[in-house]
A and B are shown apart, each in its own frame.
Chain A
């Protein structure tokens, strides 16, 4: 469309005037170089402006009413919790090698409170690579392998039924606990949870049931929580495929003992349920900490960058800061905190804000430079963890079932005296009590506040409407450049003809060749398609490689690289060769390839931004400059000007950086130093990505890698 208009404008004949919007399009296309430079700069700048533009969080749902009730957790409950901590850390309880004793202790404590108790035994389910399971909802239909009796975990579940409630909803409190090698921190987290639990059995305001899940974390925290959730949401009624766990003598022993020691019907072997889960809190206490303050860290990122409702974080933040005097942390990239360039950037913004304020006193958008640096570090980590698509804690398992959940990690300032322990039990317990009470107040599920946001500090966020601007700026030049390249490639070959080649105005001789020429882009499209097909094959290969037994990450990676190259060569020779040879002679072929590549990248980035914004943003930062700058090196060498030389250098650098393993290597190097980087790292990283069903893996395999290959092929194009 744009191309025809361009043609018609260049015609001699007077034409009816073109619509303004079309003219604007033509203008943009004809100045695509300047436009893309401006847009990309604006995009990067907007990204760096985000910490400045961040808004303060506020509690959006009125029903939450955090902190409006005074905490009821008293020293009585704290001493109860202390009793449990003592019993658990008692060396006698650790004597058994399976850790069943401590589960029994916990269950006995729960029973004494009048809660319903059940054990849930599970087999740790290894995360397998299922190529077609991306985005599919978790299901129970997976056929399980044979389990030995020795490898199972036991979750202890206690449920308090709300006395007046109708049992339609439940709040889940999770404390990961490894009975075999538990630190003091884990016992303390159980103590906090127990003191809250013992309070909640007595209160009258409870409207939702409370589930306390002591997740057996000897096979990982996430696996235990996920196994429990799977049983809760999608239970299997038939036990045909799995060898019955009841056969194992160990488990039998456990349950028999329980049955004898406990009179009353509150204990049962069967799986117990409460209603729909309203929200979940995962509570952890870190073992040691060197800081001077009691801090609490919030982890919120679930799989594929999904976040819980912002209100949940707000409530925790509000109660921790304003009621319990705890410092709240969210994850930061610590390496960014000391970077001087960021500091100077922050100072520039600060001084700009000052100038703006002196001009017009109502403009107050500046933030201090130190705050800016911290905000940027938080934002970067927020982007990074969302982009990775791997949950940052056991709370991620809840998000798969649309339950809002966060992990709270309390890191107390460490000392061993009893006063301190009581203090942390009291404050942690009151925080949990407050959050549970707020969620309990909710009449509806969380829906008021944001789900799409990036945090720049525990009390500041950037909502989707703001952070999309940076991304939009970044990808805006892509269609324009694609169009202009297409127009250039076509018009330059048509210049010699000197006549219009629009289908409507075919006037003379070789309409056949013109028709062919106007469809020339199909060849480039075919090339791009082949490379994308190859990308799909490459992303499927690890499934087969992982079947090879006893393979070290490095060798697996090598096999993967070799197979990828082999498949690329095969595909090229089988599919692409006959036509590609015929057209290789054409000049400007690379421009068409670049144009189609850019279009496909645009589509890929656009799709990815819907699935996982952070991945798309980081991908755009890498790929957009590479795509826009790519030009055959030969041309640059031939031109020999300073500009082309610069472009060549940029191309070479970007060509290296944008290669996914290289990008990871650089990232790792920046985060923890280049010393321990290893070739096998990339394999392990990829393995973790597919194990978590991260869409980032698909993005890398099917968008970024093909794009990189195409750009490299453009760089080395023989024209």
Chain B
């Protein structure tokens, strides 16, 4: 029994090795085969090159597959497990984002940015475990459920014109995936509160205590994400193990009010910060329900290279003896709390330097002695984050209300140039770029007009596009989807894709209330499947592996999102219906008036009358005058 269950539990809980072993040890005692529900909370703080600070909260709850529990849970949020059971969601990710991730200065090549940098607004994708013809129905129900759950207008993704079915370019490549974005959703605290409600301690204890709303929403980037994976158990699939991963990524400016004062002299010194100065709160102990509760401070390898640790040359040896004092008593900065542990990055694709991770255990602290780390910079330091191989940007070309073109331009970042050349000793190295682009139906894209420019030369499309999948849009039915696999030479400097479109016309009732703002075109996803962002940290024991660190070890392809575009469409005069009905009424009145006039007229009588008149006719003008006067006097003359 135990042996039978083991493989899929392993699958389910890769992260919780230690617990698994414990469970195996006590397996005989636990006759039911019950795996306990787990929760862990972690926070990662990382200084960014442009004087900002990245804070990445990572909460993970997991529920084991169990039949006996039924629908009862100890820690795991019931709403989510019900949702998973009802719609048979295999994997799902929902993100609410405000602001833009700055790929140039905040990097795009590390696990944090490639999985947590999201397009503005709402993004939702889900993989369903239902037959093909039920997927759309499940998706619609899911959007409505989530919309209710998170107080957001996710339900607008219900309409077939807003979501799409990526075939192969979207990472969880599978036919059952649905993808939709809603860029104009305004994200605020009413979306955060339901998200926090899924945590066992809410924001009343533990690391989540730091989530002070004003300081969060003052930040430059704010993205809350909910990722769940369910692994189905072998028996009939009624119950499943679910891993719910909730992350909140914020980019904040430490003590911004001081930055204004210290203007000229200390401009290049990174601002010093502490958790209490950023969030205005301190952590007083862990959430008691959490299995692990820790705070990490990550120093980027670029930063580490700049810092010049005294024992840099024997870094490897220091990694073995992790107690080396040198890592936190550095001449360039000072930590207010001694870290409990230091991890060195195991190996990286770049040989220059290794990232360093400081770990702080929150368990040790309590109400009386709250946890608060601070970092004090002593000397100015400047470094760069590692960027994506190509920096992607997307923009509109052309002007006017009739047509235009979308251009996606890719530029090689100077950061990766050396990296590329190191990788490709032989000249024939290729860089694979996947582009996934969804355009709403009212932007009528002509896919035949796709053109490729490489290094400022127009090139044949077939030379560089290895694979392309296009599903044209149907008016008011489905958006246009384009998936392209580009194979570019490694030494490419610039590349650009352009595609032309016509602007469509909408019916008057299809315009949103603020139609004159324009219409959003969701971000395109540019991914580099050959590159994987992962960080493997040396750990002395693999027992207490934290979910966050094991998340970092996963090989996820480097991904970046382009800007959301705003396309101005022609808008009608919205008072038009009124004008039309007015004109229509006038026309009807004229028509029926003249019709009645004709119907009641006696032609013969009139002619006789005219003849009599003509007999005593004197001139044209008097005749006109008399007629006019008759007209003025009314219809009296007709009666006599």
Interface residues of A (CB under 8 A from B): 9-10, 14-17, 20, 23, 27, 76, 112, 114, 137-138, 161, 163-169, 202, 204, 233-235, 237-240, 263-266, 270, 273, 275-276, 400-402, 443-445, 447
Contacts and interface: CB of A to CB of B under 8 A. Distances in A.
A166 B611 contact: no
B500 to A, nearest CB: 12
A14 B611 contact: yes
Given A15-B610, A237-B496, A202 B260 contact: yes
B382 A443 contact: no
Given A17-B627, A202-B260, A204-B218, A240 B457 contact: yes
Contact of A263 (B256, B382, B407, B566): B382
Contacts of A16: 603, 606-607, 610
Interface in B468-520: 494, 496, 498, 514-518, 520
Nearest to A112: B267
A163 B382 CA distance: 22
B565 A168 contact: yes
Nearest to A273: B395
Contact of B99 (A10, A112, A163, A233): A163
Contacts of A23: 624
Contacts of A112: 267
B50 interface: yes
Contacts of A27: 624
A166 B382 contact: no
B613 A237 contact: no
A202 B606 CA distance: 86
A237 B458 contact: yes
Contacts of B447: none
Given A235-B407, A238-B456, A264-B49, 13 more contacts: A14-B607, A16-B607, A138-B399, A163-B99, A164-B98, A166-B100, A166-B121, A168-B566, A235-B397, A237-B456, A266-B105, A402-B399, A402-B400
Interface core residue of A14, A114, A202, A265 (most chain B CB under 10 Å): A265
Contacts of B409: 237
16 contacts: A112-B267, A163-B220, A166-B121, A167-B120, A167-B563, A168-B520, A202-B260, A204-B218, A233-B397, A237-B458, A238-B453, A264-B49, A265-B105, A266-B50, A276-B565, A443-B514
Contacts of A165: 99-100
Nearest to A80: B263
Nearest to B217: A164
Interface string B156-167: 000000000000
B266 interface: no
B6 to A, nearest CB: 48
B30 to A, nearest CB: 50
B427 interface: no
Contacts of A445: 516-518, 568
Nearest to A116: B104
Contact of B396 (A76, A161, A266, A276): A276
A659 to B, nearest CB: 37
Contacts of B631: 20
Shortest 9 CB-CB contacts between residues of A and residues of B:
A444-B516, A237-B453, A168-B566, A14-B614, A166-B120, A401-B399, A444-B517, A447-B516, A239-B456
B456 A264 contact: no
B24 interface: no
Contact of A167 (B100, B518, B607, B610): B100
A699 B416 CA distance: 58
Contact of B566 (A9, A169, A237, A238): A169
Contacts of A114: 50
Given A23-B624, A238-B457, A239-B456, A276 B566 contact: yes
A448 to B, nearest CB: 9
Interface residues of B, number: 61
A169 B565 CA distance: 9
Contacts of B571: 447
B536 interface: no
Nearest to B184: A166
B458 to A, nearest CB: 5
Contacts of B72: none
A233 B120 CA distance: 23
Interface centre among A23, A161, A167, A266 (most CB of B within 10 A): A167
Contacts of B498: 237
A505 to B, nearest CB: 18
Interface string B101-125: 0101100000000000000110000
B218 A137 contact: no
B400 A14 contact: no
Contacts of B120: 166-167
Contacts of B352: none
A466 to B, nearest CB: 19
B517 A234 contact: no
B104 A265 contact: yes
A204 B104 CA distance: 21
Nearest to A446: B516
A240 B397 CA distance: 19
B258 interface: no
Contacts of A400: 399
B393 interface: yes
Interface in B358-407: 382, 384, 393, 395-401, 407
Contact of A264 (B382, B517, B568): B382
A167 B99 CA distance: 8
Looking at A9, A15, A445, which has the most chain B CB atoms within 10 Å of its CB? A445
B446 to A, nearest CB: 17
B425 interface: no
A112 B264 CA distance: 9
Contacts of B297: none
Contacts of A233: 396-399
B8 interface: no
Given A14-B611, A14-B614, A276 B398 contact: no
B133 interface: no
A164 B395 CA distance: 20
Contacts of B566: 168-169, 275-276
A462 B395 CA distance: 38
A234 B398 contact: yes
B248 interface: no
A138 B400 CA distance: 10
Nearest to B452: A237
A265 B398 contact: no
A10 B121 CA distance: 77
B564 interface: yes
Contacts of B456: 237-239
Interface string B399-440: 111000001010100000000000000000000000000000
Nearest to A244: B456
A451 B165 CA distance: 43
A185 to B, nearest CB: 27
A265 B620 CA distance: 90
B102 A161 contact: yes
B183 interface: yes
Contacts of B400: 137, 402
A137 B399 contact: yes
Contact of A17 (B395, B567, B606): B606
Contacts of A276: 396, 518, 565-568
